[in-house]
Amino acid sequence: MSEDSTRNVRCLVAKVGLDGHDRGAHVITRAFRDAGFEVIYSGLHKAPDEIVQAAVQEDVDVLGISILSGAHNTLVPKIIEGLAEYDAAEDTLVIVGGIIPDEDRADLEAAGVDAIFGPGTPMADTISFIESNAPHRD
């Protein structure tokens, strides 16, 4: 390595669709920051296209989608398809946080979600999952 190359995990915390509950997203954003991540927060009520645009342009390692509205079965796959259009699906770690019924998990994982964290997941678990699974790029 010729220069002081620095790499912090880059992460987009995204709120998608008609879901105004962002307390969890805020808490996570701060926890990620304190863990040394660079966090971009999308703001509320974003369309899947906006999330894709942000994830691609910001070249994030991790996309964390927070969703509490119950519309995850349509919105999450849309985002992942959008990432694929820009060749960004494969090396982005996609995690979902929120209320996801057990019967939906398999479909989301098949759509490309790497992990789902339900209510009550300790923050440290989420952070260590990211630290050990974030794509290593060079």
Partner 1 sequence: MPANQPDLVADLLAGKHRALARAITKIEDRNDGYRDIVSALYPHTGQADVIGITGSPGSGKSTLVDKLASQYRERGLTVGVIAVDPSSPFTGGAVLGDRIRMASTATDMDVFFRSMSARGSLGGLSTATADAVKALDAFGKDKVIIETVGAGQNEVDIVKTADTVAVLVPPSSGDDVQMLKAGILEIGDVFVVNKADLDGANKTVTELRNMLDLRDPDDDTDWSPEITETVAERGTGVTDLLDVFDAHTTWLDESGRRTEKRRTRYAEELRTLLRADANEVLEAELADRGGVDELVARIDSGATTPYEVAADVLDPIRDALRED
Contacting residues toward partner 1, per CB under 8 A: 1-8, 10, 29-30, 32-43, 46-47, 49-50, 53-54, 56-59, 86-88, 137-138
Quote the least distance from Cβ 124 to partner 1, whole Å: 15
- Closer CB to partner 1, 110 or 137, in the complex: 137
CB 93 within 8 A of CB 113: no
Quote the least distance from Cβ 135 to partner 1, whole Å: 12
- Closer CB to partner 1, 84 or 111, in the complex: 84
Phi-psi region of 135 (alpha: psi -120 to 50; beta: other; left: phi over 0): beta
The rounded distance, in Å, linking the Cα atoms of 78 and 85 is: 11
φ, ψ of residue 12 in degrees (nearest 5): -105, 120
- Closer CB to partner 1, 26 or 99, in the complex: 26
